[in-house]
Amino acid sequence: MLKVRVIPTLLWKDFGLVKGVAFDSWRRVGSVLPAVKVYNSRDVDELIVVDITASNEKNHPDHESVADFSEECFVPLTVGGGITSLEDVLHLLHSGADKISINSAAFSDPQIIDATAGRFGVQCVVASIDVRRFDDGSYHCFSHSGTQDTGKDPVEWAKELVSRGAGEILLTSINRDGTMQGYDLELTECVAKSVNVPVIASGGAGNYQHMIDVVLQAGASAVAAASIFHFTEQTPAGAKQAMKSAGIPIRQNFLSLNNK
Amino acid sequence: MKVAIINYSMGNLSSVRRSFEEIGADAVIANHPSALYEVDRIVLPGVGAFAEGMAHLNQGGWVTALHDVVNLQNKPLLGICLGMQMLASKGYEGTETEGLGFIPGEVKRIDLLGCNERIPHMGWNEVCYKSKSVMFDNIPEASDFYFVHSYAFVPTNSDNLIATVNYGCELTAAINSHHVFGCQFHPEKSSKAGRQLLKNFMSYSAC
Q: Are A140 and A152 in contact (CB under 8 A)?
A: yes
| For residue A39, pLDDT beyond 50 | yes
Distance from CA of B68 to the nearest CA of A (A): 30
- Looking up residue A222, the CATH number of its domain turns out to be 3.20.20.70
What crossing angle do the helices spanning A111-120 and A154-164 adopt, rounded to 10°?
40
Residue B200 CB neighbour total at 10 angstroms: 20
Per CATH, domain B2-203 is 3.40.50.880:
yes
In a domain, A178, yes or no: yes
Burial category of A181 from C-beta neighbours within 10 Å (exposed 0-12, middle 13-18, buried 19 and up):
middle
- Residues forming a β-bridge with B171: B165
Determine contact, residues B174/B141, Cβ cutoff 8 Å: no
Overall average pLDDT of the A137-148 stretch = 96
Give the residue-averaged pLDDT of A131-151.
Answer: 96
The residue count for chain B:
207
Higher per-residue confidence, A211 vs A42: A211
Instruction: Report helix, strand or coil for B114.
Output: coil
Average pLDDT, stretch A88-92? 93
Judge residue B110's burial from the number of C-beta atoms within 10 Å of its C-beta, 0-12 exposed, 13-18 middle, 19 or more buried: buried
> Tell me: the pLDDT tens digits for B4-55?
999 998 877 889 999 999 999 999 999 999 999 999 999 999 888 899 999 9
* Domain-located, residue A68: yes
The region, left, alpha or beta by phi > 0 then psi within -120 to 50, assigned to residue A50 is beta
> With a CB-CB cutoff of 8 Å, which residues 74-93 of chain B face chain A?
none
- A186 lies in a domain? yes
Residue in A with minimal Cα distance to B194: A74
Q: What is the average pLDDT score of chain B? A: 95
- Please give the backbone phi and psi of residue B195, each rounded to the nearest 5 degrees, phi first: -60, -40
Option in A45, A93, A254 nearest B193 (CB): A254
Is the pLDDT at B62 greater than 50? The verdict is: yes
Chain B CB contacts of A2 under 8 Å are 121-125, 167
Of B127, B120, B124, which is closest to residue A222 (Cα–Cα)? B124
Question: Who contacts B193 (Cβ-Cβ below 8 Å, separation ≥6)?
Answer: A254, B139, B143, B144, B145, B187
Q: Is the per-residue pLDDT at A208 higher than 90?
A: yes
Residue B207 in this model has a pLDDT that exceeds 60: no
Task: Look at the pTM and tell me if it is higher than 0.90.
Answer: yes
pLDDT digits (tens, 9 = 90+) for B161-201: 999 999 999 999 999 999 999 999 999 999 999 999 999 99
Distances in Å between the alpha carbon of A253 and those of A60, A75, A189, A250, B194?
Answer: 36, 12, 28, 9, 12
pLDDT confidence tier of residue A260, bands split at 50, 70 and 90: very low
Instruction: Decide if B139 touches A, using CB distance below 8 A.
Output: yes
Nearest CB to A96 within list B12, B121, B138: B12
- Inside any domain, residue A258: no
Q: Which residue in A76, A55, A112, A74 sits closest to A3, CA to CA? A: A76
Domain tally for chain A? 1
So what's the ipTM on this one?
0.90
Q: Where are the domains of chain B?
A: 2-203
The reported pLDDT for the residue numbered A259 is 52
Torsion of CA A216, A171, A96, A232, to 10 degrees: -70
Which of the residues of B are catalytic?
A: 81, 186, 188
Contact criterion met (CB < 8 Å) for B146 and A75: yes
- Does the pLDDT value for residue A256 go beyond 80? no
Is A196 part of any domain? yes
B194 touches A: beta carbon within 8 Å: yes
Q: Are residues B12 and A94, on separate chains, in Cβ contact within 8 Å?
A: yes
Mean pLDDT over the full length of chain A? 94
Query: pLDDT value at position B179?
Result: 97
Lowest average pLDDT, out of A56-65, A98-107, A232-241, B116-125, goes to A56-65
Q: Which domain holds residue A91?
A: 5-252
Contacts of A196 in chain B (CB under 8 A): 118
The answer, yes or no, to whether residue A123 has pLDDT greater than 60, is: yes
- Chain A residue numbers with beta carbons less than 8 Å from the beta carbon of B193 are 254
Q: Contacts of residue B140 in chain A, CB cutoff 8 Å? A: 255, 257
* Residue A80 is assigned to a structural domain of this protein: yes
